[in-house]
């Protein structure tokens, strides 16, 4: 086994004093690893090694979108909610007070367009601010729009 056990004991005592002088357990373990690995391999390299050069990933090629653009495939017909509302304001539709619900129903019947309240409420408010329409509450508490 070990021929000179007394000498090894003395070396381990000296080593334990040095190792225990460090407060960090991680440092202590690193020193022990270095000592035992030194016996297996001659003088391990403790210096920081430079990281290997990792080549950059090649950039992806962009795939052209297959979505057709509105301007190239078909022209806009100008029959959106705002344009319909503008046509109604220019016509005699607002001679009688109209609620948002009645405007939506009129568009569904006469323009065959399903319009949501949120699609026209902003434009109606803008027309009121510009003085194109006026707004008053009816008996049910709903706003009705008419020409001033």
Q: What residue ranges define each of the domains in the chain, with the CATH number in brackets?
A: 7-40 (no CATH), 77-146 (1.10.10.10)
pLDDT of residue 97: 92
CA Rg, the chain, in Å?
42
Taking the model in full, what pTM does it have?
0.48
Q: Name the token pair of 33.
A: 């690893």
- Residue 23's pLDDT band, with cuts at 50, 70 and 90, is confident
Residue 121 main-chain phi, psi, to 5 deg: -65, -40
């Amino acid at each position: 086994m070990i021929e000179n056990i007394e000498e090894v004991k003395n070396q381990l005592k000296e080593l334990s004093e040095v190792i225990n002088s460090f407060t960090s357990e991680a440092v202590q373990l690193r020193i022990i690893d270095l000592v035992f690995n030194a016996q297996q391999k001659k003088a391990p390299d403790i210096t920081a090694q430079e990281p290997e050069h990792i080549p950059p990933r090649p950039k992806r090629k962009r795939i052209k979108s297959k979505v057709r653009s509105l301007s190239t495939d078909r022209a806009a017909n100008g029959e959106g909610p705002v344009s319909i509302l503008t046509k109604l304001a220019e016509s005699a539709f607002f001679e009688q007070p109209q609620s948002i619900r009645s405007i939506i129903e009129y568009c569904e019947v006469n323009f065959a367009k399903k319009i949501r309240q949120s699609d026209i409420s902003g434009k109606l408010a803008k027309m009121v601010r510009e003085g194109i329409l006026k707004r008053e509450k009816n008996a049910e508490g709903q706003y009705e729009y008419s020409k001033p």
